Amino acid sequence: MTRSLAKHETVDDYLATVPQDARATLLKLRKLIQAIVPDATEGISYQIPTFKYKGPLVAFAAFPNHCSFYVMSPAVMEMYKDELKSYDIAKGTIRFPVNKPLPAALVKKLVKARIEENEKTK
């Protein structure tokens, strides 16, 4: 994937630099997150699309061989570790194939758990 090293001002700017197949996957993820937490604000943080709700909530990005969904919480990742077994995961990140988006039900669980986490700390 060739993406400009220029800083992205908006999520739309970011998505415009992503190849079409990954863009379609990330657009679905974006709409799902917006539906789950309509009060969240979105912006660019660390050069990737990030949602904030009472603090950083979740983020996503595209890479040459995968997309990533950043849960930003090792505790939430641990809570759903059984459901995440089939994914390539790191401390607060789920990597998945561009052509195999995360299931909506799983995204909802993860985002709702993050909302709960943020509401407890803010």
pTM over 0.85? The answer is: yes
pLDDT for 6: 59
Query: Over 80: is that where the pLDDT of 29 sits?
Result: yes
For the residues 76-85, what does the mean pLDDT come to? 95
The answer to whether the CB of 98 falls within 8 A of the CB of 25 is yes
In a domain, 22, yes or no: yes
Domains held by the chain: number: 1
In a domain, 91, yes or no: yes
Query: pLDDT tens digits for 10-23?
Result: 999 999 999 999 99
In a domain, 1, yes or no: no
Residue 104 contacts by C-beta under 8 Å, 6 or more apart in sequence?
32
Query: Over 60: is that where the pLDDT of 115 sits?
Result: yes
Q: Which is nearest to 17 in space by CA: 62, 82, 53? A: 62
In a domain, 122, yes or no: no
| Domain enclosing residue 88, as ranges | 11-115
3-state per-residue secondary structure call for 47-100:
CEEEEECCCEEEEEEECCCCEEEECCCHHHHHHCCCCCCCCEEECCEEEECCCC
Two tokens, residue 22: 């990954």
In a domain, 2, yes or no: no
In a domain, 73, yes or no: yes
Query: Over 80: is that where the pLDDT of 4 sits?
Result: no
In a domain, 99, yes or no: yes
In a domain, 6, yes or no: no
The CATH number assigned to the domain holding 36 equals: 3.90.1150.200
H or E element, residue 33:
helix 20-36
For the residues 67-77, what does the mean pLDDT come to? 96
Two tokens, residue 30: 């974006």
For the residues 50-60, what does the mean pLDDT come to? 97
